[in-house]
Structure 1
Amino acid sequence: MLLSACCLCFLVGGSARAQEASQASSPAANSAIHIKYTIYTHWFPVMKLETSFLLEQTHYNVAMQARAEGLLSIFTRLRIQSVATGAIQNDVVLPSRYDSQGLSRSAQRHVVLDYPQGQPVVTLLEPTETDREPVPDELRQRGTDILTTMAKVILTVRKTGLCDGTYDVFDGIRVSHFTLKTTGQDMKPDVFEDRKVPAMRCEFSGYQTAGFIKGHQAKALREPHGGTVWFINVDGYGPVPVRTEIDHPKVGHLTVKLDKLEKGAG
């Protein structure tokens, strides 16, 4: 849930009005954007997150790398690499495959989702997780992996200039529901200059809906939790998230700050 919330908000782009998302500030064609973030709790770094995406008229490719950092790395080993690919037709995202693997929850894990007829099917899950409640087909069929969900959000924002929307995320073992809503503008530091510029403020909330551990009530995960993310327009890239505040039911308040946006990556 933590990675889902972070990832979903880091790659959401948008401006306060649709007309501000002009072609001049859109990502260059055939160019992947690579962005690095640090996640803090009480101003101590606990996680590094790197995201890159290529979103064109006919296809998309979104990748993510996450690893524990600082104090968190003392208590848990976390290093995950994920990639999602698919097609785009008439502004509709058509996922093809999601592949995520790495060290998480004290084990090497690997999950692959394929999308025959557009619906997610788990084609690989290592190790198997027999201690979880099965995800109902109705909820699974509504969901897409987190990286494909990013592509959906980005397309919506490019088209409307707003972050508003609802999304169901299926990661192979559980489903989470997220809601995003544009709530105004603030002044935030520019990515490349020591000055403040208008930033779109987007509120989000999410909660787990299926795939709970058997016999565990998990009340905190069933209740909505969320935070705020701010975006500014970066010339040549369009809207980029520069800061995120997250209230997580297990780890408390988190702050996410942009470290680096690599121009011409890809």
Structure 2
Amino acid sequence: MFECFMDRLYRIAWLSALLIGGSCFGGARVGMAQPSPSHAAVMPRETSTGQNVHLHYNMYVRGYHFVNVDADYVLQPWGYGIQTHLYSVGLASWFFTVNLLSTAQGHFNEVDTRPLSYDNRGFSRGEELHTHIEFDHTGPHVTVLQPPETGREAMPEVEFRQSVDMLSYLVGLVHHMDVRQNCTTGQSVFDGIRLSYMDMHGPFKTTLPTDHHPFYTGDAMRCDFTGKQIGGFSIGSPFKDAKATPHPGSVWFVRDPKAGLIPVRLQFSHPKIGMLLVVLQTPPYLSAVPAQAAPK
């Protein structure tokens, strides 16, 4: 019974990392590479120049708080940098440890997201992990994968070449919502091992749920999505059909007067784990960073 409970917690931690994108130490400044002039785009005025936005979330499974997530990001007219820190808390931390750190950076081209790099490292499932991915026009290239993975099915070529990391996907979703005022998009997402497809629709005007002590209440915009694995299946796995089945979820946005459009709630259903819920707990913390401009 205890081993089954532990395995379930570790599976939850992995799914949390996939949805949030891994992690990084909250509060540190996000580094951003300089893009070429062709990647300029119109950005939301609230976060267009030199503003770091820090957000703090609690994560729940079946109503129990077991993980915290700290996220920091900077949006510029030409691109973005984001980092997160995902770590176990409370009773769950007595039985297992997850401490995952990741960063991503990239360009915007109109509403398209063009990642440059993604790095995820830390401790989960009883071992040290490290994944590093570089992106170019030919797609993602895994340069570090520890521990190494073998026995995986081949990726679908087109979807793999067009994929982004999850952090870049989340930033791109905020950008798309701000520029186009909609979130009806489809995107393949690669975590270094598995390839998933996210199909998003909306937004829909709604009222924020009031459970789990959210910082924001009242009006919000909700985007609904389904996510399913489409590549990187373990060869011979009896769970392939279950993983390839679309699983529903939703993300809620509000527009803060200073921080701009921010995601305040994420909800995702898993057939074995149950409902995974991420809720913003505190107001956004804003801090200035040195303004960066695209080269002429």
- TM-score band, normalised by shorter chain: 0.7 to 0.9
1:121, distance to aligned residue in structure 2 (A): 0.6
CA distance in 1, matches of 2:270, 2:96: 17
Give the % identical residues.
27
Label 1:23 to 1:223 Cα distance change in 2 as closer, same or farther (>3 A): closer
Aligned to 2:137, what secondary structure does the other structure show?
helix
Q: Letter of the aligned partner of 1:227 in structure 2?
A: G
| Larger strand share, 1 or 2 | 1
Structure 1: gaps (5+ residues): 9-21
How is 1:1-266 mapped onto 2 (pairs within 5 angstroms)?
1-6=15-20, 26-27=46-47, 29-117=49-137, 119-188=139-208, 196-218=217-239, 219-265=241-287
Label 1:6 to 1:62 Cα distance change in 2 as closer, same or farther (>3 A): closer
CA distance in 1, matches of 2:190, 2:174: 18
Label 1:192 to 1:130 Cα distance change in 2 as closer, same or farther (>3 A): closer
The TM-score, its normalising length taken from structure 1, stands at 0.84
Aligned to 1:147, what secondary structure does the other structure show?
helix
Asked whether the 8 Å contact 2:114–2:164 carries over to 1, the reply is no
Per-residue CA deviation, residues 129-165 of structure 1 (Å, 9 max, x unaligned), is 1133233433321211111212321221111112221
Asked whether the 8 Å contact 1:2–1:248 carries over to 2, the reply is no
Structure 2: gaps (5+ residues): 1-14, 23-42, 290-296
Per-residue CA deviation, residues 104-134 of structure 1 (Å, 9 max, x unaligned), is 2322111111123351111111111113323
1:23, distance to aligned residue in structure 2 (A): 5.5
Q: Letter of the aligned partner of 1:226 in structure 2?
A: P
CA distance in 2, matches of 1:47, 1:132: 29
Aligned to 2:148, what secondary structure does the other structure show?
coil
Q: Letter of the aligned partner of 1:246 in structure 2?
A: F
Is the deviation greater in 241-250 or in 58-67? Answer: 241-250
Is the deviation greater in 135-144 or in 67-76? Answer: 67-76
Asked whether the 8 Å contact 1:57–1:89 carries over to 2, the reply is no
How many residues end up aligned between the 2 structures?
Answer: 250
TM-align CA RMSD: 2.5
Is the deviation greater in 204-213 or in 103-112? Answer: 103-112
Asked whether the 8 Å contact 1:185–1:198 carries over to 2, the reply is yes
1:4, distance to aligned residue in structure 2 (A): 3.0
The TM-score, its normalising length taken from structure 2, stands at 0.76
1:44, distance to aligned residue in structure 2 (A): 1.5
1:240, distance to aligned residue in structure 2 (A): 2.1
CA distance in 1, matches of 2:66, 2:18: 16
Label 1:85 to 1:241 Cα distance change in 2 as closer, same or farther (>3 A): closer
